[in-house]
Amino acid sequence: MSGLWRPYQQVFASRSYLPLWLGQLISNLGDTIHYVALVVLVYRVSGSGLAVSSAVAFEIVPILLLGPVAGVLIDRLPRKAVLIGSDLARAALVLALAFTRELWLIYALTFLLASAGIFFNPAAQAAIPAIVDKEALVAANSVGWLTGRLVQLIASAVGGGLVAWLGTTPAFLFNGATFVLSALAISTMHIPPHAGELSAQNKRGLGSYFGDALEGLRYARRDPFISRLLPVQASPRSPWAPPPRCSSCSPSSTWGSLPLGSPGCWRPSR
């Protein structure tokens, strides 16, 4: 029994994994309340259910457009810089959203928020193999996924009441604060320089970008697990979607994010 819990003890003893885990939990809490506030704000501004559906579409479109290439870009950038940059960009966008009452601007900020968020989850998953031991990878991914879903469930249960009580602006400001706190937590992490990044030779040329993206998409189509996961992940913010296999699923490329923000798969550096 002690051997079963040893990987989890290693995960929580890791000074690098703990800030990443805390950053994700804080961000998940703010995100869940944010989505409730966004629906309320759009409906109050427009009075239209169709407008609310359009807001959801503006979240999904950038994921469909950028998801397949997010991992390709992340392979060429420092993981820590991507994580912190994504958090700070979203903090600024949420701050703008908190004081916006024009429907077209709400849509634009929603689109940009989703675009910035595309890069966080794949970068976080790609960083994990560099900061925890190999035998603790499954435990690290399991802890992150399970606690993340638990926070989402709790925030979903109380989010509506909080937005009804405090209003949408405090909810957005709270979400912005969670992004800043996440960035601060991640800034304390130690990720080995160039961990998981491609070599300079493999970064060259536009063709290498498209080649890696196509390689990842072909793998997603062939792999039995990933191909079955795609329809499940097609449900926005699906809480019942299974955890990604990440570092154990394939030696192929970090192909980006599955639809609607599921983390992509990790590949050892070349």
- Residue 133 in any domain: the answer is yes
**Using an 8 Å Cβ cutoff, are 270 and 128 in contact?**
no
- Residue 266 in any domain: the answer is no
Q: What is the pLDDT of residue 231?
A: 62
Q: What is the pLDDT of residue 248?
A: 35
Q: What is the pLDDT of residue 3?
A: 66
In the structure encoding, which two tokens stand for residue 202, read together? 């493999």
Q: What is the CATH number of the domain that holds 98?
A: 1.20.1250.20
Residue 115: other Cβ atoms inside 10 A: 20
- Residue 203 in any domain: the answer is yes
Q: What is the pLDDT of residue 194?
A: 56
Residue ranges of the chain whose pLDDT lies below 70:
1-3, 193-217, 219-220, 225-270
- Residue 245 in any domain: the answer is yes
Q: What is the pLDDT of residues 188-210, one digit of tens each?
A: 888 776 555 544 444 454 455 55
- Residue 25 in any domain: the answer is yes
Q: What is the pLDDT of residue 163?
A: 92
Q: Find the domain containing 85 and state its range.
A: 14-261
Q: What is the pLDDT of residues 145-175, one digit of tens each?
A: 889 889 999 998 888 899 999 999 999 999 9
Number of structural domains in the chain = 1
CA distance 20 to 189: 7
CA distance 184 to 18: 13
* Residue carrying the six token digits 């062939």: 222
- Residue 84 in any domain: the answer is yes
The residues, ordered by sequence, that sit 6+ positions from 22 with a Cβ below 8 Å of its Cβ are: 182, 185
- Residue 267 in any domain: the answer is no
| Residues forming a β-bridge with 10 | none
- Residue 7 in any domain: the answer is no
CA distance 11 to 141: 10
CA distance 107 to 111: 6
